[in-house]
Amino acid sequence: MDDGLDQPSIAGTMDPAGGDLHRILFHDAEIGLVVIEVATDLIRDANPFLCALLGHAAGSLAGRSLSVVGEGANSVPAGIRRWQRADGSRIDVRVRVSDGTRGKALQTLVVDAVDADELVRAEENRAALTAAGLGEWRLDFAKGLVTLSRRTAHILGYPLGAAVTWASLKKLLDPAEAVRIRAQVRATVLDGRPLSLECRLRRAVDGVEISIGVRGQVIAASAGRPTGVVGVIQDVTTRVQARNALRDGEQRLRIATSLAALGIFEWHMLDDHAIWENERMFAIFGREASDGAVGKREFLENVVHPDDRAGFRSAILTALKEDTTLQATGRIRRKSDGAWRTIDLAGRFERDATNRLPRRLIGVVADVTERRVAEERQTLLIRELHHRVKNTLATVQAIVGSTARTASSIESFYEAFVGRIMSLAHTHSVLTEDTWQTASLRTLLANELKPYADGALEEDTDARIQLEGPPVDMSSEIAVPIGMAIHELTTNAAKYGALSTPEGRVAITWSLEPGGPAGTLRFAWVESRGPVVHPPTRQGFGSRLLQRVLTAQVRAEVAMTYAPDGFRLTMLAPLPERNDALNPLA
């Protein structure tokens, strides 16, 4: 060809006098150089440095196509390219076209390797930094200035190219933040560790408060002396606000669950792993944090009461099948003391997508033992109230009928009826004072006999009324009829017996003996020094009460004797077992 492009080497175009210069500028250059034919994409020459960089023997690339390095047809574009080495591996190189050969048939390309850090700092990646909200900065210790990239200046509210000093940056920060940041930068310089912090500041342009994340690393001169810090910042205001909102929500949830005494848990189905989110869960189950949480298998096999396991399994299957809220109630054995506690459990299965198996169960647990006991007690109290009202009305009806049959006048009917109703009221008052549970036998006796005692009710044999016996608390089912009996005995003694004369004496003794559900009450009423006693010629209400009511309602054995020197009554009454469920304080 006329232009000499068919020559194998660019060296042939130079005269011998220029050989040394060619060797210095091309062959001995410590950077890659390659001469290409633009029209044919052929390599006319490549210096040893480039051949070594690409893993080829010196001079072996001349005359070969650019495809050997992975380039296609047409001219090689400038910029960072990924070329192929002789062994098939790839290497990132920066390609530049020599200005003197640009646009000519022969072009000289300058090629050098690019390391990963330089590649990341390339201009092509600045758009990605901007899109990620990242800005670059550099602190120069010698100048005392902070150099800001365009993105950093925009984030901080500075005009482009503004000279920023630490003093000007401090004005954007709260004093406490400035002290903290200065301390962290100093530690970074002294220890050489990376800088990582988050802070709040007021934007320079408008004073709006924002949050930024700062990352940096000390840069040092060849002697190792630090010359500055280089790094990036990011506007994290939205993320911080979301994090604070989440933290506030979690705090409100913790407060609410704490006040409601709710335990929070997660159960991961695939590995049967449970996570207990708060201390209340451990308290409900009587476990320490070191004991760990309880998975489904252990919960159903070892913790739940055997009678309640089927209910829990059924509730779990129903919630899974119907995609509804899991609700279950049952008893668990508390680890700390072995006590059975009743819990309410509610939760919801979380699915990754519709129609897929759930991944975990999130729920709450409440210890409702006291509430359930209170509900059962309330039910018992209501039944007891119904029973007591029914019995009381029957007793009042009997009092009315019997008093009317034995009264000789309206006045005598009124006196007897009112007395018996008052006695019934006194007994109920005693029961009410003890939360409608029990009535003291001594209290019932004292209420009836105190008006007739000259002084205190004592065990002294010289006292007009003697009370002697251990404490005995009677349930309502026997307290009402025994209270009525005491009233009838007192009324009879005041009208006809020992209490009708100043010299008369009444001695009441009682004791508890074995037998019956809760023991047997032995009760004795003995009158003395009163009028001569004659057996009754007819049976009044008092006699019927003592003989029938005590026998029927109390199941007592009653014996009465009308000795001339004084009336006597003995009674053996089995005491029913006390129902602690009726005691709200139990």
Both tokens of residue 359?
A: 């991944």
Query: Above 80 in pLDDT, residue 34?
Result: yes
Query: Above 70 in pLDDT, residue 492?
Result: yes
Give the confidence band of 4 by pLDDT, cuts at 50, 70, 90: very low
Whether residues 433 and 550 share a domain: the answer is yes
pLDDT of residue 5: 36
**Does 144 fall in a domain?**
yes
What are the residues whose beta carbons fall under 8 Å from the beta carbon of 37, sequence distance 6 or more?
A: 5, 44, 105, 106
Q: How far is CA 360 from CA 71, 289, 309, 320, 348, in A?
A: 53, 21, 20, 11, 9
Query: Above 50 in pLDDT, residue 253?
Result: yes
pLDDT of residue 16: 44
Whether residues 164 and 208 share a domain: the answer is yes
Query: Above 60 in pLDDT, residue 586?
Result: no
- Pick the last residue of a domain from 344, 366, 388: 366
Q: Cα separation of 413 and 406, whole Å? A: 8
What are the residues whose beta carbons fall under 8 Å from the beta carbon of 576, sequence distance 6 or more?
A: 475, 477, 478, 516, 517, 518
Query: Above 50 in pLDDT, residue 75?
Result: yes
- Highest mean pLDDT (candidates 43-47, 354-358, 484-488): 43-47
pLDDT of residue 494: 82
Average pLDDT across the chain, whole number: 81
Instruction: Provide the number of structural domains found in the chain.
Output: 4
Query: Above 90 in pLDDT, residue 509?
Result: yes
Give the confidence band of 14 by pLDDT, cuts at 50, 70, 90: very low
**Does 2 fall in a domain?**
no
Mean pLDDT in residue range 490-516 = 88
Higher pLDDT residue, 56 or 41?
56
**Does 174 fall in a domain?**
yes
**Does 40 fall in a domain?**
yes
This prediction has a pTM of 0.41
Mean pLDDT in residue range 439-449 = 86
Q: What is the DSSP string of 306-334?
A: GGGHHHHHHHHHHHHHHT--EEEEEEEE-
Report the range of poorest mean pLDDT among 97-106, 111-120, 199-208: 111-120
pLDDT of residue 449: 84
Whether residues 151 and 26 share a domain: the answer is no
Mean pLDDT in residue range 239-257 = 77
Q: Tell me the three state secondary structure of residue 579.
A: coil
Residue for token pair 């047409």 = 74
For the chain, give the percent of residues with pLDDT over 70.
76
Whether residues 498 and 478 share a domain: the answer is yes
pLDDT digits 0-9 by tens, 402-419:
556 556 677 777 666 666
Query: Above 60 in pLDDT, residue 458?
Result: yes
* Contact by Cβ (8 Å): 430, 439: yes
For 294-309, letters b (16+ CB in 10 Å) and e give: bebeebbeebbeeebe
**Does 278 fall in a domain?**
yes
Give the confidence band of 467 by pLDDT, cuts at 50, 70, 90: very high
Mean pLDDT in residue range 532-548 = 72
**Does 453 fall in a domain?**
yes
Whether residues 113 and 148 share a domain: the answer is no
Q: Cα separation of 540 and 550, whole Å? A: 15
Higher pLDDT residue, 391 or 452?
452
CATH of the domain at 500: 3.30.565.10
- Pick the last residue of a domain from 310, 343, 366: 366
pLDDT of residue 13: 40
Whether residues 460 and 538 share a domain: the answer is yes
Query: Above 70 in pLDDT, residue 275?
Result: yes
pLDDT digits 0-9 by tens, 121-148:
555 555 566 566 688 888 888 888 888 8
- Pick the last residue of a domain from 120, 142, 172: 120
pLDDT of residue 20: 67
Report the range of poorest mean pLDDT among 91-100, 184-193, 403-412: 403-412
Q: Which domain holds residue 401?
A: 374-581
338: left (phi over 0), alpha (psi -120 to 50) or beta: left
Query: Above 50 in pLDDT, residue 420?
Result: yes
Both tokens of residue 421?
A: 């109703």
Whether residues 81 and 185 share a domain: the answer is no
Q: Cα separation of 142 and 220, whole Å? A: 12
* Contact by Cβ (8 Å): 46, 36: no
Whether residues 110 and 235 share a domain: the answer is no
Report the range of poorest mean pLDDT among 127-131, 154-158, 465-469, 530-534: 127-131
Whether residues 400 and 361 share a domain: the answer is no
Whether residues 322 and 402 share a domain: the answer is no
pLDDT of residue 334: 94
Whether residues 412 and 362 share a domain: the answer is no
Both tokens of residue 163?
A: 């000279």
**Does 1 fall in a domain?**
no
Whether residues 394 and 504 share a domain: the answer is yes
pLDDT of residue 309: 94
Higher pLDDT residue, 328 or 579?
328
pLDDT of residue 19: 58
CATH of the domain at 183: 3.30.450.20
Nearest to 107 by CA among 158, 46, 196: 46
Mean pLDDT in residue range 179-191 = 86
Q: Which long-range contacts (C-beta less than 8 Å, at least 24 apart) are formed by 335-341?
A: 335/285, 335/286, 335/287, 335/291, 336/286, 336/287, 337/286, 339/286, 340/305, 341/284, 341/367, 341/369
Nearest to 346 by CA among 331, 370, 335, 362: 362
**Does 498 fall in a domain?**
yes
Q: Tell me the three state secondary structure of residue 506.
A: strand
